Chain A
C-alpha cells in the first residue's frame, strides 16, 4: 500500500474562516511533508515533519499552522488566509529523511480563498 490520502478534495473558504486540511498514510513512514502548488508550477515545500517533530519550516506565514498528532496523520490548520493562498496543497510521506527515501504524494486538496 503506497497510498497517501488527503481530505477534503476541494475547499472554499472566506478570508475570516478557520479550516483544516488532513493527510493520512499507513505505510509506516516517519517523515511527512506539506507542499503548495500553483497552477502550472512545481510544488513548493512548506513544512517537513520527522518522527512527529517539525524539522523544516520554509518561512511559511503563521496563518498556516501544521500539526502532526501521530506518525500517520498530518494536519494543516488555516486561518485568515488571503486570496493568493488559493492553490493545490499536497501532502507527501517518506520512510525517513536520509537516503533515497522516495516521497509519495497524496492527490491534494484544491483550496480556493474568496
Chain B
C-alpha cells in the first residue's frame, strides 16, 4: 500500500524559516506535490517536483527531494502569519492515472 507520513504540527516565529517534512513509501512516485489548506477552504497547489529532480525553488518556497530515503521537504523562507495553514504533501505514482495519495497533513502555526 501507499503511506505518506507527515509530522502533525509545527510552530515557528514570524520571519523564521519553516521546514515541513514528508516521507513516502512508493518508489514508483513520478511527481510530488505540496498543497496548502486554510481553514474552511479548498486546497491550494503551491508547487510540485518531478521525481528525477533534487531541488526546486519558487520564490519563498524550496522543495528538496531525497529519492533514496523517500523524503520530501518544503522550506518556507521568511514565514508570515498568512502562511498559517495545513500543508499536505501528495504523491502521484506510475500507472495510477492521476490519482494522488495525500500525506497526513502538517498544521503550521506562525506566531508573532
Collect the chain A residues with CB atoms within 8 Å of residue B88's CB: 42-43
Any A CB within 8 A of the CB of B100:
yes
B103 CB contact (under 8 Å) in A40, A42, A101, A106:
A42
Contact in complex: B99, A56 (CB < 8 Å): yes
Judge whether B99 and A105 touch: CB under 8 Å. Answer: no
Within B1-47, which residues are at the interface with A (CB < 8 Å)? 30-31, 33, 35, 40-45
Do residues B48 and A100 form an inter-chain contact, with CB atoms below 8 A? yes
Please give the number of chain B residues whose Cβ is less than 8 angstroms from any Cβ of chain A in the complex.
23
A40–B48 touching, CB < 8 Å: no
A92 to B42, CA, bound (A): 9
Which among B31, B42, B100, B102 is the interface contact of A106 at CB below 8 angstroms? B42
A66 at the interface (CB under 8 A from B): no
Contact B105 A103 (CB under 8 A): no
Q: How extensive is the interface on chain A, given as a class?
A: 20 to 34
Interface assignment of A71: CB less than 8 Å from any CB of chain B: no
Contact digits for A55-89, partner B, Cβ 8 Å, 1 yes 0 no: 11000000000000000000000000000000000
Nearest residue (CB) in A for B103 is: A42
Cβ of A111 < 8 Å from any Cβ of B? no
Q: Which residues of B contact A96 (CB under 8 A)?
A: 98
| CB <8 Å contact, A97 and B50 | no
B100 near A103 (CB under 8 angstroms)? Answer: yes
B42 close to A97 (CB less than 8 A): no
Determine which of A31, A33, A43, A102 lies in contact with B102 in the assembled complex, contact meaning CB atoms within 8 Å: A43
Answer yes or no: B104 CB below 8 A from chain A CBs.
Answer: yes
A residues engaging B (CB < 8 A)?
4, 6, 31, 33, 40-43, 45, 48, 50, 55-56, 90, 92, 94, 96-98, 100-108, 110
Residues on B facing A (Cβ under 8 Å): 30-31, 33, 35, 40-45, 48, 50, 86, 88, 92, 97-100, 102-105
6 tightest A-B CB contacts, nearest first: A42-B102, A105-B42, A97-B98, A105-B43, A107-B42, A97-B97
